[in-house]
């Protein structure tokens, strides 16, 4: 495992341009890429690289003119030997809108009355029809609410594998004044929820503290996501699981039809990872959990 640090610099906000900072720090084209359309320069370094502290020190005077993101990177052997993997979509092409405001229905009888954590989906998934282009040339993707989508061929491979804890639902696209159309995609759903994560988890915070203690959590950019679970908590896992904690922004006043609901993270075994890998799926980060004694 190694930790990747990605620095995003807003070019026009650096007097003389980003090269005035990159040059003295020794960051050349081997680690710095100009994104002309975005007006930014992206620098990617190993956390152990001697150039990183030089670059960060040079950027201190510019405060909000740059951002920092850290994430762990793993070898194939580390992914294969993991107890569970966080399945994280990175939205390479944009976000697919869905949720209750698109017509997907939910049972809220056991959900938090304040944040909506624990809502149970009761219908097929309905997505915004105008976002269908984001599925083109992909085998799998995720919506803005972390609903996992797979094409029919990949869905069949998952079902035939005997993967446990897996439920597949239909997916429909909604078009204004044209109704709903079923798509050749399936929603990957989990039937098993893990216990609360260990306090030794890092890279996670409560963005909107709720009395239920279950939502709404958020991943930190400046710290890698490292979910920790006690050995007893992962003794009865399935191949497809979701976290007890729910993540993201919440807006819920009792009417689910116009709610913005948080969502759980997907935790899968290497068996599921291999099926996605062998299908040539891209756009996902796979992050091993940490199993701890306490």
Structural domain ending residue among the three candidates 27, 43, 73: 73
Q: Tell whether 131 and 38 lie within a shared domain.
A: no
Last residue of a domain, one of 73, 103, 134: 73
The share of the chain scoring above pLDDT 90, in percent, equals 87
87 lies in the same domain as 168: yes
Which secondary structure element, helix H or strand E, spans residue 285, and what is its range? strand 284-288
pLDDT in tens, 183-220: 999 999 999 999 999 999 999 988 878 899 998 899 88
Closest listed residue to residue 269, CA positions, set 165, 149, 141, 151? 165
- Indicate whether 109 and 184 sit together in one domain: yes
Q: How confident is the model at residue 151, as a pLDDT?
A: 97
Whether 54 and 103 map to the same domain: the answer is no
CATH code (residue 53): 3.30.70
3-state DSSP call for residue 28? coil
Q: What is the C-alpha separation between 122 and 141, in angstroms, rounded?
A: 21
Among candidate residues 12, 41, 73, the one where a domain is terminated? 73
pTM: 0.91
| Residues 106 and 61 placed together within one structural domain of the fold | no
Find the domain containing 67 and state its range. 2-73
Contacts of 218 (CB under 8 A, 6+ apart): 204, 205, 206, 207, 247, 248
Q: Are residues 153 and 215 in the same domain?
A: yes
pLDDT of res. 293: 83
- Whether 47 and 3 have beta carbons less than 8 Å apart is answered as yes
Distance CA 162, CA 150 (A): 16
Dihedral pair phi/psi, residue 116, rounded to 5°: 85, 0
102 and 117 together in one domain: yes
- Please check whether residues 69 and 91 belong to one and the same domain: no
Residue 290's beta-bridge partner residues?
228
User: Number of structural domains, the chain?
Assistant: 2
List pLDDT tens digits, range 6-56.
999 999 999 999 999 999 999 999 999 998 888 999 999 999 999 999 999
The pLDDT of residue 74: 96
CA distances from 155 to 14, 49, 69, 88, 95 (A): 48, 41, 33, 18, 21
Whole-number pLDDT of residue 64: 84
Is 181 found in the same domain as 93? yes
Q: Are residues 8 and 54 in the same domain?
A: yes
Same domain, 134 and 29: no
85-89: strand order across its sheet: 204-206, 217-219, 240-247, 263-268, 85-89, 284-288
- The answer, yes or no, to whether residue 275 has pLDDT greater than 90, is yes
| 147 and 14 assigned to the same domain | no
């Amino acid at each position: 495992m190694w930790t990747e640090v990605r620095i995003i610099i807003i070019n026009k906000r650096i007097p003389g341009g980003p090269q005035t900072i990159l040059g003295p720090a020794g960051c050349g084209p081997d680690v710095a890429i100009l994104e002309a359309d975005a007006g930014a320069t992206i620098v990617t370094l190993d956390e152990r690289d001697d150039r990183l502290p030089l670059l960060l020190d040079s950027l201190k005077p510019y405060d909000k003119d740059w951002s920092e993101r850290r994430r762990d990177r793993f070898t194939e052997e580390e992914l294969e030997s993991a107890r569970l993997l966080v399945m994280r979509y990175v939205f390479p092409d944009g976000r697919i809108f869905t949720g209750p405001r698109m017509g997907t229905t939910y049972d809220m009888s056991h959900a938090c009355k304040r944040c909506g954590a624990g809502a149970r989906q009761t219908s097929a998934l309905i997505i915004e029809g105008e976002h269908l282009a984001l599925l083109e040339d992909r085998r799998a993707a995720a919506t803005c609410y972390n609903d996992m989508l797979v094409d029919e061929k990949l869905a069949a491979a998952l079902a035939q594998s005997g993967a446990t804890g897996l439920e597949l639902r239909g997916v429909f696209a909604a078009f204004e004044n044209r109704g709903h159309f079923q798509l050749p995609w399936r929603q990957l759903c989990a039937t098993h929820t893990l216990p609360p994560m260990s306090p030794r988890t890092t890279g996670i915070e409560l963005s909107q503290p709720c009395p239920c203690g279950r939502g709404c959590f958020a991943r930190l950019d400046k710290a890698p996501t490292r979910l920790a679970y006690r050995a007893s908590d992962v003794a009865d896992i399935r191949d497809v699981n979701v976290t007890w904690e729910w993540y993201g922004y919440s807006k819920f006043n009792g009417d689910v039809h116009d709610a913005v609901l948080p969502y759980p993270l997907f935790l899968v075994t290497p068996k599921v990872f291999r099926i996605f890998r062998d299908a040539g799926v891209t756009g996902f980060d796979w992050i091993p959990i940490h199993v701890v004694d306490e």
